[in-house]
Each structure stands twice: as structure tokens, then as C-alpha cells.
Amino acid sequence: MKTRLVIIILFFAFSVPTFAAHPGGTVYADVNGLVCAFCAHALEKVFGREEAVESIDVNLDKKVVTIHFQQGQKLDDATITKLITDSGYAVRGLRHGD
């Protein structure tokens, strides 16, 4: 019984940070054409040049690019869309997180 309780507590303790809001804000871009690690690397490189971007995560299975911004900085939707389309991918939509 104690073991189960400890496991449950540890599960929630390590899960909470993944659901916490990113302090600089987050945008989720649904993108067509993402099929390989090279695609992910190309977008990481493009967004890595942007001062406002802290990090990005490319989920090839879901075809979603998650963009985390530096605190107090953003890129507008038109700029995000242009960066992705200029890289050869089609943006299906943008969603704003925190």
C-alpha cells in the first residue's frame, strides 16, 4: 500500500512541471510536410536564429511545432507563418498557449 502511494505521489510530482505554463509564452503551429528528423532540424535552425525564441519542439507524429518564447518577447503570427512556409512547409493553423 505504501509503495503505491509513493508511486502515485512521485508520478504527480514529476508530471506537474510538464503542465506548467511557460513564462515567455508558447505558440503551437500545426504544420503539413513534417516527415523526418531533417525537417525538425531545419525548423530548429530557422527558429534558433530568432532572438525572441527560447526553444522549439517538433513533434513529427502529431505534426506540431511548439515554440517557446523568451520572457517578454514574441513573434507575431505572420512572422511565424512566414518562417515555416519559407522553410518549405504549410501551416494549417496556429494556437496560442499561455
Architecture of the CATH domain 21-96: 2-Layer Sandwich (3.30)
CA-closest candidate to residue 73, choices 14, 36, 23: 23
Pair 73, 55: CB distance under 8 Å: no
**pLDDT tens digits for 38-82?**
989 999 999 999 999 999 999 999 999 999 999 999 999 999 999
Over pLDDT 90: what percentage of the chain? 63
pTM for the full predicted model? 0.75
What is the model's pLDDT at position 18? 43
What is the model's pLDDT at position 86? 94
- Average pLDDT along the chain: 84
Amino acid at 74: K
